[in-house]
Amino acid sequence: MAHDRLVSPQGSPEDESSQALRPTRLAAFVGQEALKERLAIAIHAARERGEYLEHVLFHGPPGLGKTTLAHIIAAEMGGKLVTTSGPALEKTADLMGILTNLEAGDVLFVDEIHRTPRAIEEYLYPAMEDFAVDFVLDKGPYAKAIRLSLKPFTLVGATTRAGLISGPLRDRFGLYFHLDFYSPEALASIVARSASILGVDITPGATMEIARRARGTPRIANRLLRRVRDYAQYHGAARIDSAVAHAALLKEGVDELGLDELDRKVLTAIITRYGGGPVGIEALAATIQEEVDTLADVVEPYLLYENFLIRTASGRKATLKAYEHLRLRPPEQPVQPGLPLQ
């Protein structure tokens, strides 16, 4: 399964159990500098005016810190964080129970908010705009609409697919932030901080070795650090240096650029079975016996970001970088590095 991959950006129970690695203040949050500055301004201004922070929408690939930022907003604003997700809000009573129990200044975090049922969204609109909910008692000629006031709160939504959020819901957010992949330098700082919290002795070279393979994602960086720590402990290494980190991650099947077996399988199939492409994603999924959604949502984003493949109207194409990384001979034609093969 794709979610079992060491380099999967999706969360796992092990990731969720490592709460100590999550920063609780904005100053301790590494990376996303432009976002941090804008969010810091909004939080400072709201606190100075004695107001509540506007509703916030975070969007971007999984594992980049959307949940962590929700925790930070609650801590910075002095409120309690209440967490749920779009798919979990199946009934109106579920949402009503959550909203009516919020205290003034609390933060309601809704993960995967694009998957919130449309019927539930209708109740969110007045809650976000007027801090009130409208519900109907009885049915037919005895129906009676009642408006229930709520205490002011901040809704923080997170999504990996901003385009799937309905227009009316999107318009009710006052602050929008996009999270992008992290640089290796930022990830190395995150690894060093996490190693300090975990009590792991690690060299700067090893932190960069891990960072380069973390696919621009802090969640993956921390997961790789834990696997390297295990390897070092098993082999009796008191200190993790770049050689130990390199050996540990090769043992896990993660190469120098963060690609794992599934990534290499996808690229190899495009090159060897389809001449470098183009190939449709359905045909590719059938060839390597994976789900289409797995390729589109889990595998492709990083390969596209790192320019190993491109999407065209006629399908996916491998780039010269993919050939070079897999040490495969490209077709005999002049191609600039990073450009698709025709």
Residue corresponding to tokens 């993960």 = 111
Name residue 143's amino acid.
A
116, 159, 160, 294: the catalytic one is: 160
| Count of H-run helices and E-run strands, the chain | 15, 9
| Cα–Cα distance, 233 to 215 (Å, whole number) | 25
Task: Specify whether 111 is catalytic.
Answer: yes
Is 281 strand, coil or helix?
A: helix
111, 213, 294, 319: the catalytic one is: 111
Please confirm whether the linkage preceding 334 is cis (ω < 30° from 0): no
Pairing of strands 132-137, 144-149: antiparallel
In this structure, the number of other CB atoms found within 10 A of the CB of residue 174 comes to 13
Sheet holding 175-178, edge to edge: 81-85, 107-111, 154-159, 56-59, 175-178
Task: Specify whether 66 is catalytic.
Answer: yes
Pairing of strands 81-85, 144-149: unpaired
Which candidate, 153, 114, 162, 115, places its Cα nearest to that of 133?
A: 153
| Cα–Cα distance, 180 to 168 (Å, whole number) | 25
| Cα–Cα distance, 245 to 232 (Å, whole number) | 8
15, 67, 207, 229: the catalytic one is: 67
| Cα–Cα distance, 278 to 121 (Å, whole number) | 40
22, 66, 215, 317: the catalytic one is: 66
5, 22, 219, 316: the catalytic one is: 219
Task: Specify whether 67 is catalytic.
Answer: yes
| Cα–Cα distance, 9 to 220 (Å, whole number) | 6
Give ∠ CA 173-177-179 in degrees, rounded to 5. 145
Active-site residues, by number, are: 66-67, 111, 160, 219
